[in-house]
């Protein structure tokens, strides 16, 4: 696939560090609905955010090499949990509840916003938020809402394009353009984009390497 926009670059050492990190045990630790349920902030943490159906569970499963580690349980109205996974002894991977349900009740949305605000501003070990963007659509208004929240919380975030095996080349270029333009408006955005397909195993090693070399 030839893209005008390049994949985020990592070197061979980072690739190897990523391979080693994710070759270790990854396990579901717990799901929490409030700050006081969170595990101790005693190791490096990254989290994954994105609209429901963006491919977040599939990406976490692809990263960890475990088919059913993260499940799609983002049904509107259900308890929205922040799920913690251990990755070796050194990292937490955190799966944030999906957002952007057209029909979500106002109370659910408000609860989500409160939990996100306290998590994003209250977690000292959180090093990076990966904001997942569907390769067919590019970044949408609801993605911009979370980007604004991330700017306010001063947490660095990086866009991860998902399902890039689905759109045609022109469609993908357009959604990458739109995403780039949005990132340029957000001071907390990391400039490089990670381009992935969980189905084709594309960009997974890059993302592993990025996670393994954060400090």
Helix (H) or strand (E) holding 208: helix 204-212
Residue 16 CA to residue 29 CA, distance in Å, equals 25
Closest separation in Å from C-beta 8 to ligand GDP: 17
Q: Which is nearer to ligand GDP, 18 or 97 (CB)?
A: 97
- Give the interface segment with ligand GDP, choosing from 47-55, 77-85, 123-131, 176-184 (CB under 6 A): 47-55
Q: Which is nearer to ligand GDP, 5 or 213 (CB)?
A: 5
Q: CB-based contacts of 181: which residues, under 8 Å, 6+ apart?
A: none
Contact between 163 and ligand GDP by CB under 6 A: the answer reads: yes
Closest separation in Å from C-beta 75 to ligand GDP: 10
Contact between 206 and ligand GDP by CB under 6 A: the answer reads: no
DSSP-assigned letters across all residues of 101-133: -TT--HHHHHHHHHHHHHHHHH-TTEEEEEEEE
Residue 31 CA to residue 117 CA, distance in Å, equals 17
Q: Are 193 and 184 in contact (CB under 8 A)?
A: no
Q: Please tell me what DSSP assigns to residue 35.
A: G
Which of the residues 100 through 159 are near ligand GDP (CB under 6 A)? Answer: none
Closest separation in Å from C-beta 98 to ligand GDP: 5
Contact between 197 and ligand GDP by CB under 6 A: the answer reads: yes
Contact between 55 and ligand GDP by CB under 6 A: the answer reads: yes
Q: Please tell me what DSSP assigns to residue 39.
A: P
Q: Which is nearer to ligand GDP, 17 or 51 (CB)?
A: 51
Closest separation in Å from C-beta 31 to ligand GDP: 14
Residue 5 CA to residue 8 CA, distance in Å, equals 9
Q: Which residues bind ligand GDP (CB under 6 A)?
A: 50, 52-58, 72, 74, 98, 162-163, 165-166, 197-199
């Amino acid at each position: 696939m030839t893209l005008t926009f390049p994949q985020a670059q990592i070197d061979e050492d980072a690739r190897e560090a990523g391979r080693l990190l994710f070759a270790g045990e990854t396990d579901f630790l717990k799901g929490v609905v409030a700050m006081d349920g969170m595990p101790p902030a005693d190791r490096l943490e990254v989290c994954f955010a994105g609209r429901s159906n963006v491919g977040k569970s599939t990406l976490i499963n692809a990263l960890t090499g475990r088919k059913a580690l993260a499940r799609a349980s983002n049904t509107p109205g259900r308890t929205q949990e922040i799920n913690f996974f251990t990755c070796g002894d050194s990292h937490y991977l955190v799966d944030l509840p999906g957002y952007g349900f057209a029909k979500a009740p106002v109370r659910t949305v408000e609860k989500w916003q409160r939990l996100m605000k306290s998590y994003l501003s209250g977690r000292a070990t959180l090093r990076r938020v990966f904001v997942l963007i569907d390769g067919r659509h590019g970044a949408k208004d609801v993605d911009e809402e979370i980007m604004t929240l991330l700017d306010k919380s001063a947490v660095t975030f990086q866009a991860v394009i998902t399902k890039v095996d689905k759109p045609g080349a022109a469609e993908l270029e357009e959604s990458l353009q739109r995403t780039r333009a949005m990132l340029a408006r957000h001071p907390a955005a990391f400039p490089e984009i990670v381009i992935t397909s969980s189905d084709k195993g594309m960009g997974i090693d890059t993302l592993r390497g990025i996670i393994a070399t954060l400090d």
